[in-house]
């Protein structure tokens, strides 16, 4: 075996290891939605036979849709931690998008994602869902962590595209100046790690160790390379523009990323009269997959079902 062949083989194995391998649950379907520039976006779904409404979920900064919203834990009943399955069981056609560079969606040709690009992509998926369910109200939109940033921009700019807005684990102080951190000249394409995937599980005894292990393994498999963002100053928040949409703020009490004071600033500046704020006990930034999963789902479903 020549040295050249060995080098090529090692390169091939390394390339395969870096390819995203999402692991959907047994009832989860995959669709491809075309964005305005022709790139396709992976959209995962659980849809009941007669949905009462629709909802789109947008993941956070590092990990894509399936580890967050369709987590499968060995040794537990199937779908026991799946947000998609729980929302479908409650009667909602539940969809979760992989933004560019995450999970089943390829990177943008530039190598970067931006807030403006993410807003345009989520809008396209919202419109696609609305066309599929033309007899139902517009979709609700739930953004998680960095996805909550994107969701707030859509609530500010395109409220007509939504029926309700859920901001879960919103990570910023809206009273602070936009992020002006310099962007590297080239995308870093850093490897993700199991250690990083588990670092949000900080509340003691909030979930069995198997949940953290499953989340970390499925996260790194789905997202082996960290997606690179630039133009973060485009996250220019003006919550006062959200004046008609029902809004739910949702966080875990121990969440160091979405803090109580920062969420208070956001809540105070929203102008929607129909707004709620729920803080879940014994939970942190991954409350949706911890033992607060059922309470998390109940908070979201109760908000969506509220008579209006």
Q: How far is CA 49 from CA 44, 87, 92, 135, 201, in A?
A: 16, 13, 10, 14, 35
Q: How confident is the model at residue 18 (pLDDT cuts 50, 70, 90)?
A: low
Place 23 in a pLDDT band, splitting at 50, 70 and 90. confident
Nearest-angstrom CA–CA distance, 226 and 187: 10
Domain boundaries, the chain: 29-305
What are the distances in angstroms from CA 40 to CA 58, 211, 222, 226, 268? 16, 31, 17, 19, 37
**DSSP secondary structure string, 178-235?**
PP-PPPPSS---PBP-HHHHTTT--STTSS-HHHHHHHHHHHHHH-SBPPPB--GGG-
Q: Is the pTM of this model over 0.75?
A: yes
Where are the extended beta strands (E) located within the chain?
29-34, 40-46, 53-58, 92-97, 140-144, 164-168, 247-252, 275-280
Straight-line distance from the first to the last Cα atom of the chain, in angstroms, rounded to the nearest whole number: 71
Is 6's pLDDT higher than 90? no
- Give the Cα separation of 286 and 300 in Å (integer): 15
| pLDDT, tens digit (0-9, with 9 covering 90-100), for 259-302 | 999 999 999 999 999 999 999 999 999 999 999 999 999 999 99
Distance CA 183, CA 160 (A): 33
Contact (Cβ atoms closer than 8 angstroms) between residue 247 and residue 155:
yes
Read off φ and ψ for residue 41, nearest 5 degrees: -120, 135
Rounded-to-5 percentages of helix, strand, coil across the chain: 35, 15, 50
**Range from 4-13, 30-39, 160-169 carrying the lowest mean pLDDT:** 4-13
The closest alpha carbon to 301, from 124, 273, 293, belongs to 293
The candidate with the shortest Cα–Cα distance to 165, out of 180, 149, 178, is 149
Please write the tens of the pLDDT for every residue from 109-162: 999 999 999 999 999 999 999 999 999 999 999 999 999 999 999 999 999 999
If DSSP codes are grouped into helix, strand and coil, which group holds residue 244? Answer: coil
pLDDT averaged over every residue in the chain: 94
Chain segment 67-123, per-residue pLDDT in tens: 999 999 999 999 999 999 999 999 999 999 999 999 999 999 999 999 999 999 999
Q: Which fold has domain 29-305?
A: Rossmann fold (3.40.50)
Share of the chain above pLDDT 90, in %: 90
pLDDT of residue 10: 35
CA distance 197 to 220: 7
- Is the CB of residue 56 less than 8 Å from the CB of residue 95? yes
């Amino acid at each position: 075996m020549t040295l050249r062949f060995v080098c090529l083989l090692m390169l091939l194995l390394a390339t395969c290891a870096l390819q995203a391998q999402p692991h959907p649950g047994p009832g989860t379907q995959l669709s491809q939605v075309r964005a305005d520039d022709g790139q396709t976006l992976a959209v995962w779904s659980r849809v009941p036979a007669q949905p009462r409404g629709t909802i789109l979920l947008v993941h956070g900064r590092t990990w894509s849709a399936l580890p967050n919203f369709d987590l499968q834990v060995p040794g537990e009943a199937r779908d026991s931690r799946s947000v998609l399955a729980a929302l479908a069981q409650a009667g909602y056609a539940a969809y979760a998008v992989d933004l560019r560079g995450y999970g089943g969606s390829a990177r943008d040709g530039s190598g970067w994602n931006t807030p403006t690009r993410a807003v345009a992509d989520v809008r396209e998926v919202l419109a696609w869902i609305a066309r599929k369910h033309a007899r139902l109200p517009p979709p609700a939109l739930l953004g998680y962590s960095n996805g909550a940033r994107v969701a707030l921009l859509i609530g500010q700019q395109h409220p007509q595209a939504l029926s309700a807005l859920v901001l879960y684990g919103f990570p910023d102080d809206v009273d602070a100046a936009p992020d002006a951190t310099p962007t590297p000249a080239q995308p870093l394409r850093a490897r993700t790690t199991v250690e990083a995937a588990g670092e949000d599980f900080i509340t003691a005894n909030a979930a069995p160790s198997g949940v953290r292990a499953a989340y970390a393994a499925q996260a790194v498999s789905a997202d082996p390379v960290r997606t690179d963002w630039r133009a973060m100053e485009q996250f220019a928040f003006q919550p006062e523009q959200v004046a008609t949409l029902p809004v739910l703020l949702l966080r875990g009490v121990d969440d160091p990323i979405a803090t109580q004071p920062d969420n208070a600033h956001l809540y105070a500046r929203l102008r929607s009269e129909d707004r709620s704020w729920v803080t879940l006990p014994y939970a942190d930034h991954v409350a949706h997959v911890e033992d607060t999963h059922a309470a998390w789902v109940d908070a979201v479903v109760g908000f969506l079902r509220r008579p209006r």
